[in-house]
Amino acid sequence: MSFPETLETSLTFLMLFVLLIVVIISFVVFGSKIFPSFVKFLKSKDPSDGSEQALLDELKALDEHLKAHGPYVNGEKICAVDLSLAPKLYHLDVALGHFKGWKIAESLTHVHNYMKESFEKTKPAKKYVIAGWEPKVNA
C-alpha cells in the first residue's frame, strides 16, 4: 500500500469510529430526561406546573424512538441504556399509579411493549417500589 492509500484507509476508519461514538452517545443520552421528569411529577403538589406534560413529552419521544428503532433502544439487542431505563420505567409506572392514580397512556404502545419485553421476569414486587418512594413523596 502506498502512502495515499494508507492515509485514505486510516481516515475512513477514523470517520467510522467517530460516527460509532456519536451513535453510542446519542443512545446513552436518549431517555436521560425521563427519570428526572418522573420524579418532578411524582413530587409535585401543583397540577398546573407542567411536570406531567414534561413527562408525557419524554414518554412520547421514547415511544417514537422505539417505533422507529425498537424493540429496544438500540434496535434488536438489549444494551446498557435498556438495563438502566427499564427499571426506571417500572418505578415510574408503579409509583405514579400508586401515589397519583396515573398510568402510562395506552396509546404509547411501544413503551408498553418495551416494558414487558425488557423487564417482566426480573421486576421487584410493587410493595418494595412503593415503600422506597413513599418517604420522598410524603416529604
For 74-106, letters b (16+ CB in 10 Å) and e give beeeeeebbeebbbebbbbbbbbebbeebebee
> What is the spatial distance between Cα 95 and Cα 133, in angstroms, rounded to a whole number?
7
> What is the spatial distance between Cα 55 and Cα 38, in angstroms, rounded to a whole number?
6
From the list 76, 77, 89, 92, the residue with the least C-alpha distance to 119 is: 89
pTM: 0.76
Topology (CATH level 3) of domain 31-137: Glutathione S-transferase Yfyf (Class Pi); Chain A, domain 2 (1.20.1050)
> What is the spatial distance between Cα 39 and Cα 81, in angstroms, rounded to a whole number?
19
pLDDT tens for the chain, 139 residues: list them: 555 567 677 777 777 777 666 655 555 556 789 999 999 999 999 999 999 999 999 999 999 999 999 898 888 988 878 888 888 999 999 999 999 999 999 999 999 999 886 577 678 889 999 999 999 998 7
Q: Where are the domains of the chain?
A: 1-30, 31-137
> What is the spatial distance between Cα 102 and Cα 94, in angstroms, rounded to a whole number?
9
